[in-house]
Structure 1
Amino acid sequence: MKRLFLLLALLVSVNLHAQKFDGLADAPQMGWNSWNSFACDINEKLIRDTADTIVRLGLKDAGYQYVNIDDCWHGKRDKDGFIHPDPERFPSGMKALADYVHGKGLKLGIYSDAGATTCGGKPGSRGHEYQDAKTYAEWGIDYVKYDWCDTKGLSAQGAYTTMRDAIRAAGRPMLFSMCEWGENKPWEWAKDVGHSWRTSADIYPCWNCELNHDAFSRLGVLRILDRQAGLRKYAGPGHWNDMDMLEVGMGMTADEDRAHFSIWAMMASPLILGNDLRKMPESTLRILSNKDVIAINQDKAGIQAWKFFDDGRLEYWAKPLANNEWAVMVLNRGEQVVSTNYDWKAHFVSDEVSKREVDFKKATYAWHDIWGGKSGDTSAKLDAKVAPHSVLLLRLKTKG
């Protein structure tokens, strides 16, 4: 009961103009989440083993820092309404698990929902927002993914702002990842509410498909990419368009995996791994730990890419980087190998969002092919072949 009185006192003292914690997502967040591979089949051993694996495989050194527990960790609420973890799945408790993850130099994330129940039918946070945020802070949680099931009649802006304020009142910096699937256009109002917001339905590990369920659909890589049109102006340091968790290593081809990872990097989407890290082959690890692709995603300029040219067979995407550098991605959506003989000097590239531009008639850039290893410069046409369901990913630096 004492905890409940303390909570009520905390509510009275809350600043009505509370803001999210700054500095937690100056670059898109990187980590791992349990849902894509395990859904509700989770326990504390899986989380500990995954944290160990992130460190052992060098993924921590590559920038992945969050170990996020998704739905179904929940036990019951006690008589005062405070949530507890499932005692069979998490017998040591969340505080002990957070301490273990922190001991590895990593951070622990947790999941809840704006409704009375989660998507998996567990207790949601509706009516318990301040209690739950306080509990998470006491456990040592660093990241809150907040879903949107069982929310009929709720205002998304109101519900997410309430949890933001609750997290702020709890006093522990926790990254706030909003997961309402873009249904309420969070990019228009959530810059000061969350550190990232989902822009589409859940992802599915396919190139260009839509998997229909009774009440919802899951989307392939290209379907999610196409839903980003017009959203890049809303993204930047501390507030990112989230294209959902990665499906690299979950059944697509190697070309599709490299393209998927490249697209998410170019679009400045959070890089949250979804595969079973304990069992992945070396080829998947090489994709997920590619430091040059990660550097594009984590670039301090924080600018999302846009498609600046489409020749009907290949799409050309540009991302301005810090220090007057650029990333260029050539995307082959189709089923056949396509050759490019792109003339750099034929296109003046100008970005209305960042106000960055480049005229290859006046400036020559050296380029490096990140996946293929080749190099060249923009004084000559780009002569390359792009495999189906694949990308050519280049980093450009001025010569001289």
Structure 2
Amino acid sequence: MASHRKPRQSPLGGQAVRTAATLALASAATTTLFEGSGHADPRLTTAQVKAKVDRLYEEAGAATEKYNGAKEKADEARAAFDRLRDEAARRTQRLNTARDGLGAMAAAQYRSGGLDPAVQLALTSDPDEYLERAALAEKAGDRQAAAVTAVRRELGAIRQLRAESAGRLTALRTHEAELRRQKTTVLDKLETARKLLARLTAEERARYDAAVAARDTARTPEGSGTAGAATADGADGADGATPTRADRSSGGERGPVTAPNTRASQAISFARAQLGKPYVWGATGPSAFDCSGLTQAAWRAAGVSLPRTTYTQINAGRRVSRSQLAPGDLVFFYSGISHVGLYIGGGQMIHAPRPGAPVRVAPIDEMPFAGATRVG
């Protein structure tokens, strides 16, 4: 039997349906547009890429110094834990020796029967012999008491060492976790910079490289690179003691500056010998350096021990103003004290800049100046 029901009507008329469809499509397009704009990275100019890459390298440098600090603390905690563990092993060996001695004494007493002294005197046929034995037994008792005291002392020391070791192990794990976190931060920053540079066309990359080179050349007095600064830290280009170029670090001519001592000259000589070696974050030489690794190694060659990081090196000597800079001073940059170089006179320094830029001579006005320290 045929159905007499009326076809179900749409609540909207034809025009209304078309309007709703149009609105739906517009809404979808708008959503897609906004979602796309949230995820798509607009095409950046070479200058914008350079600015972003420079910022990423600066952030990576700051994270590198935090990594260096965490590594230093982790190494110290690991060394302390190892020392405690070795001491606990030595104490355990002494404890075992003392226990063996007590066991031997106990066995001897068992073999002698442990008779009451009065009974032994009554049974002996030689009182003098008995008295001699009694004296020996008393001495043996003293030794036994001393052995018991030694065992107790070693047990207490071992318990204390184990408690200290547990604390050191907890500290070690904390520093290692921070080490991993900072390493991840550094690698993420560098990878982001790499991806930005990889998006440049060959022509854009050439313009980028030219802009970087032009910046360095423009800021380096009398030329750029190592050749233009070879005499900035020494008249003979050998020891950094008597620079011939006027110090322009404060924006004015002050005449030649002289390294304050032989050690400063030795530090500069070492740093110059590293020119051209690659920057590797966390490296302290001999084949690669990061910024604080280079300054630490330079002053170590001069017989001075510096701490590992920029924010500890700045407190390793006497603060000096920018107008008082002399060759050998440590110069620091950025508000977070995240970069350091070795001043060589003439407004220039030797430093390890960043990945892809080897150890080189550069002007100290290349980055925001944060302070200076004189060591040695």
TM-score range, shorter chain: under 0.3
Q: Which has the higher strand share?
A: 1
TM-score by structure 2 length?
0.23
TM-score by structure 1 length?
0.22
Which of these two proteins has the greater Rg computed from alpha carbons?
Answer: 2
Higher relative contact order (CA 8 A, sep 6+): 2
